[in-house]
Structure 1
Amino acid sequence: MAEQVYASAKPNHNPPQALNGGGGGGQPSFPPTKGQTYGATLPAYRPQPRKPPPRRRRRRGCCCSCCLWITLIVVALVFLAAIAAGVFYLIYHPRRPTFEVGGLRLAAFNVSAAGHITSRLDLNVTARNPNSKIAYLYDAASVSVFSGGVDIGDGSFPAFVQNGKNTTLLATTLSAGAQTLDSTAASDLRKKTSLPLEIDVDTKVGVKIGGLKTKRMGIHVRCVGIDVGVPKGKAAAPVASPNADCKVKLRIKIWKWTIS
């Protein structure tokens, strides 16, 4: 009979080692790849904090709030000024002064062959203050008389103070300045027996209410509708009492502009 060989039933406590140093039953170990080696040296990723957006809306909101407050303040000031003006009008009933030409006499008038004017005018103007609680403070006034756009006499009124319900008579003598006319205008003036006149008065006036005085404002007085006879020879010219229409306009100066 042939001999049979039986495997030993005794377990082997030293099993054969796996290749590449791997343990029995585990996955075989391989050297790390290039990507793994490079990645091992990188620092850990840390997300950067997000920058806050610019606060445009907040700035825009602040600008809108400022504009709104400024508008409200301006409206409130205008409203208060209107109330104060209404109360002032109810208490004092302010009215403009009035002027009228009391008398005018063309004492001398001559136009030379060279076009020079020689004249003398006596003028009386009556100024009235219709207010009872308001006084007017007048500066010196300049007076000019024109006929058809030609200046035939200049003069002035002195400064004066006019209390409430007061009437003041102003008198002055006007004479022609150094003015030379062309031949046509000079010939037309020589032929006239009466002259249509316009009178301009320019001055500044302040208002006094009790112990309060305001800043002086410019006023312009213009009187039209006046006809005066031209003296002939040595005969004295009559004094005219014209029914002139005189209008008073305030001249308020704001920076470079004058509002009438």
Structure 2
Amino acid sequence: MADRVYPSSKPTTTTTAAATATTPGATATTKPQLRQPYRPQPQYGNYHRRKSHRRNHCCCCCFWTILILLALGLLAAIAGAAFYVLYRPQRPQFSISSLRIAKLNLTTDSSSSTSHLNSLLNITLSSKNPNSHIVFFYDSFTLSVLSNSNSVQLANGSIPSFVSGKNNETNFRSVLTSSRDLDTESVTALRSDLKRKTGVPMKVQMDTKVKVKMGNLKSKKVGIRVTCQGIRGIAPKSKSPSVASVSDAKCEVDLRIKIWKWTF
């Protein structure tokens, strides 16, 4: 009886190895791969966020600054309105009562061809304080009488310092004189004014400093200029003085604020 051969129950596994064939005489060269340098990408999102934050911060600062300035302006307006209602401040008033011309001579020396001015004037003026709660403290006044058409100084003088109380009126008398040589231009202009039948147009300037007191408050000294125009005077032809016309004279008070070398 022939023997039978039975196949094994375990499967036969076949492994195939892949071999790489090389051609004789040929060399395999492998090029190294170059690595690209790292370049950081800009963070656009963070940059825009920072820029937007700065813009918002600036807008907020501008808003609060404007708001504070408006609030301060409103408070100043309220304080000014309350001050005006309480004190009713008014400027001091000045007027010229009379102006007498005792001498107003213009002589020319033939030998030296120079012209000399001699003048003597008497002025009476008044200062009035129309305020009920304000007192004015004046320094001494510097007075000048000038020809209104060409601003040639005809005479000068002064008034002593004084205090103008509430609703008070103070009268002064002062003597103004001049004795000086004039230049050719001033002589020509003054001679033309002296020939006028209506008289020489004149103006009076008064410069001083004043301090104001309101209740317990006192201000610093401020310069003022009082200018009175509308005066006409005729040079006397005899020893008796002539009376200038002051019926149309009007006086204005202006502040004289000095900043460094300039006066406004």
Q: Give yes or no for TM over 0.5.
A: yes
Q: Which amino acid is 1:115 matched to?
A: S
Q: Compute the RMSD of aligned alpha carbons.
A: 3.4
Q: Secondary structure at the match of 2:89?
A: coil
Change (3 A) 1:99 1:26: same
1:125 aligned residue: 125
Which range moved further: 54-63 or 126-135?
54-63
Q: Per the alignment, in what secondary structure is the counterpart of residue 24 of structure 1?
A: coil
Whole-Å separation in 2 of the counterparts to 1:153 and 1:30: 132
Amino acid at match of 2:15: G
Instruction: Quote the residue 2:188 is aligned against.
Output: 184
Q: CA deviation at 1:60?
A: 2.5
CA distance in 1, matches of 2:201, 2:39: 97
- Which amino acid in 2 is paired with 1:34? T
Give yes or no for contact 1:101–1:241 (8 Å, CA) kept in 2: no
Which one-letter code corresponds to 1:53 in the other structure? Y
Distance in 2 between the 1:65 and 1:177 partners? 69
Rounded Cα–Cα distance in structure 2 between residues aligned with 1:48 and 1:227: 92
Indicate the larger mover: 154-163 or 92-101.
154-163
Contact 1:152–1:177 under 8 Å retained in 2: no
Q: Output one character per residue of 1:16-59: Cα deviation in whole Å (capped at 9) or x when no partner.
A: xxxxxxx8235446899725xx46x97xx999586542722322
State the match for 2:82 in structure 1: 87
In structure 1, the partner of 2:111 is none
The answer (yes or no) to whether the contact 2:194–2:234 under 8 Å persists in 1 is no
1:226 and 2:231 are equivalent in the alignment: yes
Per-residue deviation, residues 206-254 of structure 1 (Å, max 9, x unmatched):
2101221112222221111112232223x22144572211122223456
Q: TM-score w.r.t. structure 2 length?
A: 0.76
- On the 8 A contact 1:154/1:177 being kept in 2, the answer is no
Structure 1's unaligned 5+ residue stretches are 1-7, 16-22
Task: Please list every run of 5 or more consecutive structure 2 residues that lacks an aligned counterpart in the other structure.
Answer: 23-27, 109-113
Aligned equivalent of 2:25: none
Match of 1:18 in 2: none
Say whether residues 1:25 and 2:16 are aligned partners. yes
Instruction: State yes or no: 1:66 paired with 2:70.
Output: no
What does 1:132-171 correspond to in 2, within 5 Å? Answer: 132-147=132-147, 148-149=149-150, 150-171=152-173
How far apart, CA to CA, are the structure 2 residues paired with 1:48 and 1:223?
83
Post-superposition Cα deviations, 1:112-141, rounded to whole Å, max 9, x if no partner, equal 113221101111110000001101121222
Structure exhibiting the larger radius of gyration computed from Cα positions: 1
Q: How many percent identity over aligned positions? A: 37
1:247 aligns with 2:259: no
Paired residue total: 237
The code of the aligned residue for 2:210 comes to V
Letter in 1 for 2:140: A
Aligned to 1:236: 240
From the superposition, tell whether residues 29 and 207 of structure 1 become closer, same or farther in structure 2 (CA, over 3 Å): farther
Confirm whether residue 34 of structure 1 aligns to residue 30 of structure 2.
yes
| Whole-angstrom distance in 2 between the partners of 1:58 and 1:178 | 75
State the 1:201 CA deviation.
1.3
